[in-house]
Structure 1
Amino acid sequence: MSPADPELSLVIPLYRSAGSVAALVQRLAALEPGVAWEVVFVDDGSPDDTAVQMRSALQRTPLPALLIRHSRNFGEHQAVLTGYRHARGRYVVNLDDDLQNPPEEALRLWQHARTTGLDVVYGDYRQKRHAGWRNLGSSFANRTAHWLLDLPERFYLSSFRCVAGVIARQAAVYAGPYPYIDGLLSQVTQAIGSLDVHHDSRAVGESNYNLRRLIRLWLTIFTSFSLMPLRLATLLGVALALVGLAVLAWLLLEFLLHGTLVPGWLSVISAITLFGGLQSLLIGVLGEYLGRIFLTVSGKPQSFIRSMDRFRAVECPGALDRTGGRHDGVAP
């Protein structure tokens, strides 16, 4: 890191956030971390005028910020990785754009990480303010991640997290089209902890997460960072083969003891349905892996940057004046 780099970077992905950006910037501008800091906003291809509203809000505040625009909607984890690549802070905190993650709590996460020396600190919500179905889906995704990624069970893998800058930038080296932030972080460090934080109610709009996005997240967790599904498929195949041998032995014994028996239609149809369904499931698991490998090898982009706007200079001794700088295209 350069001496001119900030101590703290906040990374905030934006999507359909036109109604909340003014309040978000106002809350951020009121923060007083006491160190050089910056905010990296990543507009993930919002179909509304989120970028216009954000530019207008940033031009009216002294907030040192970078606004990055994706050319289309790639996904939250892709947007966070883009923010990690351009964040220069010694610590990076990423939080949501809807103010359900209070910016003041971001400073607590950062201070806790700095005090404890942990590489990753997750915000553990004292009381979640999401809908019931969303909490259920998130709980299942967390249990899946803990199981497949061998992560400690004692904390919740929230999207409100503080990461040491060196760890964040190492995770951002990943260029595949199916990123999962927690999986990437778990591959780099085991110095992970949590801190109880507040989770506020949404003031504007509604959540962009739906059942389809949650299913996509589950598939990414299952297939991108673990071979466990393939190993389970192998074990299931072995178990079914043993069951088949046992049934064959039983039929041979019946034939030897009682002679030829007329098989029942119900048992035949049941066996065909069961084994046919399991074979389809196993083929689907293999197909999911092969499809993701194909898209990765064929160069499906993780994200693409349309433009970047720098607002104000980071307040560091000796920092270069970057006020008002604008860059179009992909950053180096």
Structure 2
Amino acid sequence: MAKVSFVIPCYASEHTISLVIEEVNQAIEKLNRYEWEFVLVNDCSPDNTFEVIKNLCVAYSNITGINLARNFGQHAALMAGFHQVSGDIVVCLDDDGQTPGNEVGKLLSKIEEGYDVVYAQYANKKHSGFRNWGSKLNSKMTEYLLDKPKDLCVSSYFAVRRFIVDEMVKYEHSFPYVTGLVLRSTKRITNVEVTHRERVEGVSGYSLKKLIGLWSNGFTAFSVKPLRLATIIGILFALIGFVVVLLLVIRKLLYPSEVLLGWSSTMSVLMIIGGIILIVLGIIGEYIGRIYICMNQAPQYIIRERIGINDLKEEKK
């Protein structure tokens, strides 16, 4: 009998995580063909989420609770959970009830068909307008920078085979990006449509700052295309500058008596070029800064406390 490990990053979900566990328990029990466990990772929630997780660990013998020392972000929390799983299949879902735990059978069925990774796809997302816009932009950027197939929808609700997880946990650098780790590990990925629910409580923890940070983690860690794009932009502006100079020389030769004025236009061009240079330097600096941080062995996550079935595993990665 195959075993399924559910990894759930938790943040400010003291009122919802118990409902998610109950729903998943009922759904997987009805399938009657899997053993299962839960790994709940508290990403330093400001409420009593970890106290709720402790109570769940007492109530269920198949739950491991992990409490991170500070807020490391959703992807680092997932990596912390991946290091604790023992299942043949790993399923990741949200802690707020928006991802339908009762439809996990759809993802597992696709895994049984031979796919390595199955992402849930939502016909109608119930996120805010800002979050939906961010998801669309992220999808386009991932297509270009990480070579994601255009018809593939990536979400936080997905099932993945154990060998993919074993490959992902080999990544020990400070800025994990789970989507990038998946896309570089296999091409046997598909979608299955599920329902997306309204948020039961609270608001999304994703802000513009966090989304930009997430994009930076993914695109600087798994792609050099930003650097190549900066090079192309530099070449284009150099060519434009060469053409403009050539035109000015030709004009001066044709009309030698004409006085060429253009202080304001010259300053505008210099400001544009200067801005582009600073942007390019910023991109290069981002790469160098991340290399420096990785060389200093900054941790992906630090575990403050662990309770449950995996107490003997090492506490720091």
- TM-score where L is the length of structure 1: 0.89
What displacement does 1:54 show?
1.7
Q: Which residue of 2 aligns with 1:249?
A: 246
Q: Which residue of 2 aligns with 1:282?
A: 280
2:168–2:182 Cα contact (<8 Å) kept:
yes
Q: Distance in 2 between the 1:187 and 1:99 partners?
A: 29
Q: What is the count of residue pairs matched by the alignment?
A: 313
Q: Residue 64 of structure 1: which of 51, 62, 70 is its match?
A: 62
Amino acid at match of 1:161: F
Q: Which residue of 1 aligns with 2:23?
A: 27
Return closer, same or farther for 1:210/1:331 CA change in 2, 3 Å cut-off: closer
What displacement does 1:63 show?
5.6
Q: Distance in 2 between the 1:296 and 1:72 partners?
A: 19
Q: Which residue of 2 aligns with 1:98?
A: 96
Amino acid at match of 2:166: R
Q: Which residue of 1 aligns with 2:315?
A: 330
1:306–1:329 Cα contact (<8 Å) kept:
no
Amino acid at match of 2:14: A
What displacement does 1:25 show?
2.8
1:25–1:58 Cα contact (<8 Å) kept:
no
What displacement does 1:188 show?
1.1
For the pair 1:307 / 2:305, whether they are aligned, the reply is: yes
Amino acid at match of 1:86: Q
What displacement does 1:140 show?
0.3
Amino acid at match of 1:181: V
For the pair 1:13 / 2:13, whether they are aligned, the reply is: no
Q: Which residue of 1 aligns with 2:121?
A: 124
Within 5 Å, which residues of 2 pair with 1:169-188? Answer: 169-188=166-185
What displacement does 1:268 show?
1.4
Instruction: Give the % identical residues.
Output: 35
What displacement does 1:297 show?
1.0
Amino acid at match of 1:330: E
What displacement does 1:57 show?
3.4
2:57–2:307 Cα contact (<8 Å) kept:
no
Within 5 Å, which residues of 2 pair with 1:177-256? Answer: 177-256=174-253
Q: Distance in 2 between the 1:250 and 1:191 partners?
A: 53
Q: 3-state DSSP class of the match of 2:121? A: strand
2:97–2:197 Cα contact (<8 Å) kept:
yes
1:307–1:327 Cα contact (<8 Å) kept:
no
Q: Distance in 2 between the 1:201 and 1:118 partners?
A: 29
Q: Distance in 1 between the 2:26 and 2:262 partners?
A: 76
1:40–1:68 Cα contact (<8 Å) kept:
yes
2:146–2:219 Cα contact (<8 Å) kept:
no
Q: Distance in 1 between the 2:131 and 2:23 partners?
A: 26
1:144–1:221 Cα contact (<8 Å) kept:
no
Q: Distance in 1 between the 2:183 and 2:204 partners?
A: 27
How big is each residue's C-alpha offset from its partner over 1:32-91, in whole Å with a ceiling of 9 and x where there is no partner?
A: 14221111111111122111012123423x461111111111010011111111111111
Q: 3-state DSSP class of the match of 2:247? A: helix
Within 5 Å, which residues of 2 pair with 1:128-167? Answer: 128-167=125-164
1:308–1:328 Cα contact (<8 Å) kept:
no
Q: Distance in 1 between the 2:153 and 2:145 partners?
A: 15
Amino acid at match of 1:131: S
How big is each residue's C-alpha offset from its partner over 1:77-129, in whole Å with a ceiling of 9 and x where there is no partner?
A: 01111111111111101000001011112232112211x11000000112111
Q: Which residue of 1 aligns with 2:296?
A: 298
Q: 3-state DSSP class of the match of 1:117? A: coil
Q: Distance in 1 between the 2:106 and 2:12 partners?
A: 27
1:309–1:327 Cα contact (<8 Å) kept:
no
Q: 3-state DSSP class of the match of 1:7? A: strand
Q: Which residue of 2 aligns with 1:89?
A: 87
Q: Residue 75 of structure 2: which of 63, 74, 77 is its match?
A: 77
State the Cα RMSD in Å.
Answer: 1.9
Return closer, same or farther for 1:231/1:331 CA change in 2, 3 Å cut-off: closer
Q: 3-state DSSP class of the match of 2:97? A: coil
